Amino acid sequence: MRVLVTGAGGTLGRAVLPRLRTDGFTVRAMSRRPRHDPAADWVVADLGTGAGLAGAVAGMDAVLHLASHAGGGARTHRVDVLGTRRLALAAAGAGVGHLLYVSIVGVDRVPVPYYRHKLAAEQVLAAGPVPWTVLRATQFPAFLDRLLRAVGRLGPVPGDPAVLAQPVDPHEVAVRLAERLGTGPLTGIEEYGGPQVLRFDEAVRAWRAARRSYRPLLPVRLPGRLGRELRAGGLTTSVTPTGRRTWAEYLADTYGGPDRR
């Protein structure tokens, strides 16, 4: 099967490309800027303008759509929503049989501007001309790690202790995406999460221990609907199967764990 991967240079893309090749797919990788990689067939195309999309999808059996512009402003709308529509139309014109889009668990529940755009992109696919699948994944552990480092850079780590998270390893998501491509269009939404649902205070304690950090957690209750949804598990899923790599394993691999020397 010939597969175009948009956003191939991102965190998930770097996990997906070798997985697909290992599983026997013929892979074409897409980015906005030229890349030189002898292991991959890279093409240049821009979702924000549509430039290069027709050539990128030509001859492909499926498109794995990972590209996104985080933020939630005009650029996100142009890339995630309008760009997804451009991609779907180009794919239809090229006779592509499956458009698989990676979204985020909680886009339909958590009131964040970026999530509204991701949800709108899902709706574009559902109304579009190409058989489709949406796979919503929970947050990657590296994202949670970066978040904790950012909010704790000045001392205490502020956060709502009761917020729930479910980190999932991007390589395990890549495996699931390869399986979904092999299965064919779902014409629906599938969720995929990590093996554990953690409270924010639990995640912070493990993170501090792995880093040998003495920065305390500063409890801050998130107000309004956003706080309610996050405490109620808006970023988590009860759907199985799930990934296997835990937050503790990520921390041990990244920082060496609390007993490192």
Q: What string of H, E and C letters represents the secondary structure of the chain?
A: CEEEEECCCCHHHHHHHHHHHHCCCEEEEEECCCCCCCCCEEEECCCCCCCCHHHHHCCCCEEEECCCCCCCCHHHHHHHHHHHHHHHHHHHHCCCCEEEEEEECCCCCCCCHHHHHHHHHHHHHHCCCCCEEEEEECCCHHHHHHHHHHHCCCCCEEECCCCEECCCCHHHHHHHHHHHHHHCCCCCEEEECCCCCEEHHHHHHHHHHHHCCCCCEEECCCCHHHHHHHHCCCCCCCCCCCCCCCHHHHHHHHHCCCCCC
pLDDT score, position 259: 45
Whole-number pLDDT of residue 61: 98
Q: What is the pLDDT of residue 257?
A: 54
Residue 71 pLDDT? 85
Q: Which pLDDT score is estimated for 34?
A: 86
Domain range annotation of the chain: 2-139+169-192
The b/e string for 229-249 (b: 16+ C-beta within 10 A; e otherwise) is bbbebbbbbeeeebbebbbbe
Structure confidence by residue, pLDDT tens digits, 186-232: 999 999 999 999 999 999 999 999 999 888 999 999 999 999 999 99
**pTM to 2 decimals?**
0.94
Residues lower than pLDDT 70 in the chain? 257-261
**What sign has the CA pseudo-torsion 122, 123, 125, 131?**
positive
Q: Which fold, 2-139+169-192?
A: Rossmann fold (3.40.50)
